[in-house]
Amino acid sequence: MMEYGVEHPCPQTRHLERPLASGEHVLVVLGDSITCGTRFTPTKYYPALLEKLLNAHSREPWRVLNAGYPGDTVVQGALRYARDVAPFRPEVLCISFGLNDGNPRRSQADVQRELLWWAERRFWAWALVTLQSWGRRLGLFRVKRENSLQGLPRVPQRLFVRVLTDLVQRGRRQGAEVHLLPLVPVSRKVLPEGRWQLYREYDGLIRQVGRQLNVPVVCWEAREDPFLPEVMRLSDGVHLSEKGEAWLARRLYQHLREWSPRCRALLHSSAKFAKTMP
């Protein structure tokens, strides 16, 4: 796998603070900066809060691993699946992409990542990647990385659906129960109209994959626990505040209570959920 940019302390799966204990049930959240977090300590992001909720109500211990990485598209998530997800063999896998995929800032680096993804599946792509590698070693050419494709989404919609579908199937082949997270509510005021429309389209693609593959998609709307943008979003209009992280953890926990057979089998049916939410 090629690395672009500087190594970030996320994802948590690359440097566990403590090894997985025998008997712990593993849930991995694979995603971008919404999952990894951007402003706070790791204990304040929704994966850590979800772990607390699960352990507060479960008869057996849970470990929630944060496999988020800032700026990632679904293609980048797929490229690092073998390193950041597969070794932990999660019982439950939650996938959260789309925010960066629909960003109209496509670059040559995005094209190259897609070629790497295809190289794992098609001989022609593998041959081209191999040829590029030898060419760089011999100094014949370099892969361009400048942003020469501005105005196009970083991941085309058809490819987004294909890679997301592949991720779901890959998780299932490993024995994981897979769940999809739609895009979190963002402020329309801070996004250009064109990007706002792309945002809605990619959110719809996530739900489309959920329907086609019979994958549960988390519902953000809840009358008893609504999203409050004025206190749950940061000033950038996209990322979540501490209260927003807690809200997302609650919504995901409630979703798992209703739609995850593996989680539901271990949760106390008499748990008073409302009194123990962060």
pTM, rounded to two decimals: 0.88
pLDDT at 150: 74
Question: What is the distance between the alpha carbons of residues 234 and 27, in angstroms, rounded to a whole number?
Answer: 27
pLDDT given at position 276:
47
Residues of CATH 3.40.50.1110 domain(s) within the chain?
Answer: 22-104+153-276
Contact (CB, 8 A) for 85 and 30:
yes
pLDDT in the model for residue 153: 95
Q: Which pLDDT belongs to residue 142?
A: 61
Instruction: Tell me if 66 sits within 8 A of 9, measured CB to CB.
Output: no
Cα separation, 179 vs 175, whole angstroms: 13
Identify the pLDDT of residue 267. Answer: 87
In this prediction, the residues of the chain whose per-residue pLDDT falls under 70 are 1-10, 140-148, 269-278
Residue 256's pLDDT is what?
A: 97
pLDDT at 56: 95
| Rounded Cα–Cα distance for residues 59 and 181 (Å) | 26
Q: Which pLDDT value is given to residue 2?
A: 38
Q: How far apart are the first and last CA of the chain?
A: 38
CATH T-level topology, domain 22-104+153-276: Rossmann fold (3.40.50)
pLDDT at 99: 94
Q: What is the pLDDT of residue 6?
A: 34
**What is the spatial distance between Cα 33 and Cα 210, in angstroms, rounded to a whole number?**
22
Q: Are the CB atoms for 63 and 100 separated by under 8 Å?
A: no
